[in-house]
Structure 1
Amino acid sequence: MSLPDKNSPTLTLVHPTEEEKLATFKKNGLEWRGALSLEAYIRREHHLADQSHTKDGGISHWILIDSASKDRTILSSCETYRRRALVARNGKVEEVVSHGIGSVFCAPECRKRGYAGKMMKLLGEELKNHQAKEHGKKNCAFSILYSDIGKKFYTNLGWEPFNSSHIALPAKAKRSETDLENSMPQARPLYAEDLPELCAIDEQRIRRTMLKASSGHRTAVAIIPDIDIINWHHSREEFVGRELHGKVPKIKGAIVGSIPGKRVWCYWTRMFYNEDPKATFENTLHILRLVIEEQGIFDWEKESHNISKKAMAEYIPAIGALFRLAQEEAKEWMMEDVWLWNPTEATIDAVKAVEPEAKVIDRDAESIASLMWYGEKNGDGLVCDYVDWLGNEKYGWC
């Protein structure tokens, strides 16, 4: 097979046919199927493309081809997810169009020829306007991706790395004899029917918080954790749960408290990587989103809003209780551990009350949260010097 040069002017980014899309699934599924058979992996991809988050253009598939070639050899491929997002600047909060990029893949026979880089360069330009006008916007505000090949490759293409850390707890229910753990309240499970109302409350809270997060010349951005994006994650775990265990997970998260405005809750998802349904290695329960409902107490990742230690400390036992229930669910579903991305100081204190040896890990190779900003630039510095990515949690992953 004769392959074109990466700088050929005939290399083109296009949407695949259904037959070509299936061909990409068969290729990348050999490496990404995880705990699933290849046949089940392909069914899962079709299933996930039929969710409320992905229907009606919510997901777009892309392939790089040589337009001068008759056989349309797929040189590289990926997919993008249209995401509702917010941008706060100059005292205003605006809902914008953004895109998340996933499944960047180059088949073995096409690797080390620069095709993935060429595709991403073209895609970065394409996403500036992709689906913006049909949603009443002049252009897209930003795009994100999560690099599994370190920071350099995507940084060179315009997606700058942001904070990518996590704290992990083992999937066990052994209690530590700390005063804080002994004072933890009772966490209650959340089920699918509980989530729409909580997601709506969270979105309104976020819109109010975003105004506070933007000050001076800084801009704040956030992917909205709406019910559609949370359901997409749960559809993924339910499909794999059914394939491996013959049942679907019913408990979707946990909540502490009953008084509106004073509650604390989280949503989670289980990610199965081990083919053996009786083995736990590499299986992880991820906290998708952690919410402290009281306004002004816990402004997302911002720890510098003059929030008193005493005010934050009030919620540490409740957060710890959420993690305790998450550990129990992880153990029930053969997970190795529980992860929370980009923990705040209060969250770290809560985790250590449950697991004193827990440490924050800064990722430098996998799931590197990266953002390309399409808005106005502020000097020659990095985007992260003047843009705050708030809510940089697992729910934004794709």
Structure 2
Amino acid sequence: MVLRQVSFWIIRLKKKELDCGQKMGHLSDQEFTKDGGITWWVLVATEAKGRVILSACESFRKKALVFQNGKTEEVITHGIGSVFCPPECRKRGYAQRMMIFLGEKLKTWQTSSEQRCVFSILYSDIGKKFYADHGWEPFNSAHISLPAISSSSSNGTTNGTGSSNGHALEARPLYAFDLPKLCAIDEQLIRQTAIHAPPSKTFIALTPNHARISWHQAREDFVSHELYGRKITIKGAIVGTEPGKRVWCYFNRVWDNPDPTSTENNTLHILRLVVEEKGAFNWEKAGHDEDMEAYVPAIAALLRLARKEALEWKMDDVEIWNPNEVTVRAVKSLDSEAEVVHRDQESIASLMWYGERPHDGPVTGYVDWLANEKYGWC
């Protein structure tokens, strides 16, 4: 058996579902994926006639940053997605064999003397054990959510049904033309991690550049057109106008239900939440104190607009990955019954480390994954 790179592979969905080939073609032609940004892999039996596909997947090249001992290194990483094994080939160890080959292959795939690959990632939908057994260790995978509700009724407390607060902050919509500049600012904020990060750990972050964010939103643009025949214009929300003191987030609508009249299993994800004044590292490590409490109203305002958009586009809820304490308080100001959920089966952020290992323990003991939010998913 051998793992091969191929130009393209497609699994057709049922007639009633969206055409997978069209969608794949659309997504593979984005800034993030073109020019080698996406690679398709297949495991084949070299001795078989016709080279039957035993297992397949894809990998996405991503920009990332590694912070260690006060220094910043620009690296690439590869995110693995769409792992598939034909029904007739299952329970024969083919997926395991493919992952073993792939984990080793990605160490040097598309690297150069100037840019190495220090880790690869995936988001498991089959729990933590299978991929952990093959080297991708699970990292924190939590979220908190709010039900979709109209903005006119979301200024209160529990479930957004309390009395309206006339002094509440209001968020403004973000449009596609707003995003490139904001993404560039966010990238610089992430780069400042080297100033604040302690030397006791290595910190990593996927670069939240515009190419990455717009790829997610190209997915929702395609599906919204197929389901509803109209275009999404609101791409996120922002509070504040003074540079250096703004708070913003990006939206991503995911339809898991093929019925355009139903909201079940449809979610509006917050791809990335940015508090400009605090920067990435200080914000992520923020606890509950008076200084950080000041950001609760701004985040709540972003979420109110997100809930309105969720209702508009037949979403069941709004979801934020790996929220810090301040974000949790903002969510609870809108829904006092909201709770953080620690996932153990779906979308488990998992990482294989190729860099130096200071000890033989779990990678989570010496590597801290910053900004482990939905924008990193693939």
Bin for the TM-score computed over the shorter chain: over 0.9
Partner Cα separation in structure 1 for residue 347 and residue 288 of structure 2: 32
The one-letter amino acid paired with 2:50 is D
In structure 1, what residue type is equivalent to 2:101? L
Deviation at 1:56, TM superposition (A): 0.3
Answering whether residue 169 of structure 2 is matched by residue 185 of structure 1, we say yes
Letter of the structure 1 residue corresponding to residue 3 of structure 2: L
- The one-letter code matched in structure 1 to 2:209 is D
Q: Is 2:173 aligned against 1:218? A: no
Greater Cα shift, 110-119 or 204-213: 204-213
Partner of 2:6: 16
Q: What is the rounded CA distance, in whole Å, between the counterparts of 2:247 and 2:344 in structure 1?
A: 30
Residue 355 of structure 1 pairs with residue 335 of structure 2: yes
Partner in structure 2 of residue 199 of structure 1: 183
Question: For residues 154 and 224 of structure 2, what CA distance do their matches in structure 1 show?
Answer: 28
Unaligned 5+ segments in structure 1 are 1-10
How many angstroms does 1:211 deviate by?
3.5
Query: 1:17 offset after TM fit, Å?
Result: 4.6
- Structure 1 match to 2:24: 45
1:366 and 2:350 correspond = no
Match for residue 66 of structure 2 among 76, 84, 87: 87
Q: Are 2:192 and 2:279, in contact at CA under 8 Å, matched by a contact in 1?
A: no
What do residues 93-113 of structure 1 show as CA deviations (whole Å, max 9, x unaligned)? 111011111000111111011
Question: What CA distance in whole angstroms lies between the structure 2 residues aligned with 1:323 and 1:298?
Answer: 22
1:164-210: CA deviation from partner (whole Å, max 9, x where unpaired): 01001000133364599834311000000000000000101110124
What code does the residue aligned with 2:2 have?
T
Change (3 A) 1:356 1:105: same
CA contact (8 A) 1:292 1:298 kept: no
Deviations 1:287-335 (A, max 9, x none): 00000000358624323xxx77111111110000000000000000000
* 1:125-204 alignment, distance < 5 Å: 125-133=104-112, 136-137=114-115, 139-173=116-150, 174-175=153-154, 177-178=156-157, 182=165, 183-204=167-188
SS in 2 for 1:75: strand
Match of 1:344 in 2: 324
Sequence identity percentage:
56
Q: Please report how far the alpha carbon of residue 217 of structure 1 lies from its aligned counterpart in structure 2 after TM superposition.
A: 3.0
> What is the distance in 2 between the residues matched to 1:175 and 1:165?
24
Partner of 1:384: 364
Distance 1:17 1:207 in 2: 34
Contact 2:190–2:281 (CA under 8 A) maintained in structure 1: no
Give distance in 2, aligned partners of 1:89 and 1:109: 46
The offset of 1:37, in angstroms, is 2.2
Distance 1:350 1:338 in 2: 13
Instruction: Assess if the C-alpha contact under 8 Å between 1:81 and 1:99 holds in 2.
Output: yes
- Between the aligned partners of 1:275 and 1:59, the Cα distance in structure 2 is 26
Equivalent position SS for 1:141: strand
Structure 1 residues 43 and 155, CA gap change in structure 2 (3 angstroms):
same
Residues 76-98 of structure 1, C-alpha deviations (whole Å, 9 max, x = no match): 00000000000000110111011
Shift of 1:68: 2.0
Q: Is the alpha carbon distance of 1:194 and 1:235 closer, same or farther for their aligned partners in structure 2, counting shifts above 3 Å? A: same
Give the unaligned 5+ runs of structure 2.
none
Greater Cα offset, 52-61 or 179-188: 179-188
Change (3 A) 1:184 1:104: same
What is the CA distance between 1:276 and its match in structure 2? 1.5
- 1:212 Cα deviation after fit: 1.4
Q: Which residue of structure 2 aligns with residue 5 of structure 1?
A: none
1:325 to 282, 300, 305: 305
Structure 1 residue 273, shift from structure 2 partner? 1.4
1:301–1:180 distance in 2 versus 1, CA, 3 Å: farther
Which ranges of 4 or more aligned residues in structure 1 deviate by more than 4 Å?
Answer: 178-181
AA aligned opposite 2:136: W
Matched to 2:224, the amino acid is G
**Aligned counterparts of 1:70 and 1:392: Cα–Cα separation in 2:** 43
- AA aligned to 1:157 is H
* Other-structure match for 1:4: none
Per the alignment, residue 313 of structure 1 pairs with 293
1:37-76 Cα shifts (integer Å, max 9, x gaps): 25x2220011100000000000000000011223110000
CA RMSD of aligned residues (A): 1.8
